[in-house]
Amino acid sequence: MRMRKIGIFVSLVLVLALGFAISSSAASKYAAKVNGVKVKNMTLEAAVNNFIANQKMMGMQTNEGDRDALRMQILEELISAELLYQEGKKAGLDNLDNEMKEQFGNIKNGFASEKEFKDVLKERGVTEKELKDDIKKGLCIKAFLDRDVYAGIAVNEEEKRQEYEKNKDKLSVPDQVKASHILILAKPDASDEDKNAAREKIEDLRRKALSGEDFAELAKANSQDGSAPNGGDLGYFGRGAMVKPFEDAAFSLEAGQISQVVETQFGYHIIKVADKQAARTLNYEEVEPDIERFLLNQRRGEVLQKFVTELRSKAKVEVY
């Protein structure tokens, strides 16, 4: 398991701002000391737990056996972050009270109530002052990186087009349809009477749609599905996104057509296709912003790694 070096620096600001990797005056044990500034074990463990939680949300699991290696990697990143913070302070970029207050307010407003916000802080053993200090630290690091480390880094048009050509074969989009539907629920174990009633209702709605009644309005008024408020709109989807009978019906239609009644495990549907897109390769203009972002991040990562290595070589770092 290996983390990209740039990744932790990018996420560190978020980690600090969200209050996961937060210092605590109650902690008495330390993981490291960076030019005399202590990195607390509590901060390190919180950062590890937060990283694992984020991986889990993205569908990736961290094996317990990997935790020690992960802990050491994140400790190295926290040491690097502390070095960057110290440089930011030297550069006079820590006067960020207004920005800190704005971000603190945004975080606080993300909770349902004042009580919920305070309960979360209490659960994590954090005071409002400590949270504000860590937000300010994250902002200082970002300001320093943007002004003194990343300044002047750019990519030109030729480089972006070369990257596009190199990865063109990976930029394909499969067949897609844009469709709306109306669903009348009927569970597989429903009685014949209930199934017949559901079938009659969907057939009636199909007749109305074919006679010219607005499909979206029929969906809003009748569909027993979460898409009903949007007129049954499911947006664009490719093969494999829907259950097989629904998919087969949707992809067999032309734009503007309404399907026969389609039965799935959810009940009875009628489908209206609004648009179809054949498989294709994304053109340069569609992906240019993503390519530029990728190349910039790649270049910034290289510059940052070199800069941090130089800082580390001059620093007094003790790992406990």
Would you kindly state where each structural domain of the chain is located, as residue ranges?
5-156+288-319, 173-278
Answer yes or no: is pLDDT of 92 > 80.
Answer: yes
Q: How high is the pLDDT of residue 126?
A: 74
pLDDT in tens, 19-43: 444 444 444 489 999 999 999 888 8
Question: In degrees, to the nearest 5, what angle opens at C-alpha 231 toward C-alphas 228 and 236?
Answer: 100
The domain 5-156+288-319 is placed in CATH, from the list 3.40.50.740, 1.10.760.10, 3.40.50.300, 1.10.4030.10, at 1.10.4030.10
What's the average model confidence in pLDDT over 155-180? 95
Answer yes or no: is pLDDT of 125 > 80.
Answer: no
Long-range CB contact pairs, 260-268, < 8 A, 24+: 260/206, 261/199, 261/202, 261/203, 261/206, 265/188, 266/183, 266/185, 266/186, 267/183, 267/184, 267/185, 267/186, 267/187, 267/198, 267/224, 268/183, 268/184, 268/186, 268/198, 268/199, 268/201, 268/202
CB atoms within 10 A of CB 196: 12
φ, ψ for residue 250, nearest 5 deg: -60, -45
Answer yes or no: is pLDDT of 52 > 90.
Answer: no
Q: Which two tokens stand for residue 61?
A: 């699991």
Answer yes or no: is pLDDT of 60 > 50.
Answer: yes
Answer yes or no: is pLDDT of 4 > 90.
Answer: no
Q: How high is the pLDDT of residue 320?
A: 87
Q: For residue 237, what pLDDT band results from cuts at 50, 70 and 90?
A: very high
Strand stretches in 174-282, DSSP E: 176-185, 233-238, 262-264, 267-277, 280-281
CB atoms within 10 A of CB 134: 23
Alpha-carbon dihedral 135, 138, 139, 143, rounded to 10 degrees: 170
pLDDT in tens, 288-311: 999 999 999 999 999 999 999 999
What's the average model confidence in pLDDT over 254-279? 96
Answer yes or no: is pLDDT of 98 > 60.
Answer: yes
β-bridge partners, 317? 34
* Order of strands, sheet of 317-319, starting from the edge strand that comes earlier in the sequence: 37-40, 30-34, 317-319
The residues, ordered by sequence, that sit 6+ positions from 207 with a Cβ below 8 Å of its Cβ are: none
Answer yes or no: is pLDDT of 2 > 60.
Answer: no
The domain 173-278 is placed in CATH, from the list 3.10.50.40, 3.30.40.10, 3.30.530.20, 3.30.465.10, at 3.10.50.40
Answer yes or no: is pLDDT of 266 > 50.
Answer: yes
The residues, ordered by sequence, that sit 6+ positions from 187 with a Cβ below 8 Å of its Cβ are: 267
Q: Which two tokens stand for residue 156?
A: 């030109």
Share of the chain above pLDDT 70, in %: 91
Instruction: Output helix, strand, coil percentages for the chain, rounded to the nearest 5.
Output: 60, 15, 30
Q: What is the DSSP letter of 160?
A: H
Does the predicted model carry a pTM greater than 0.85? no
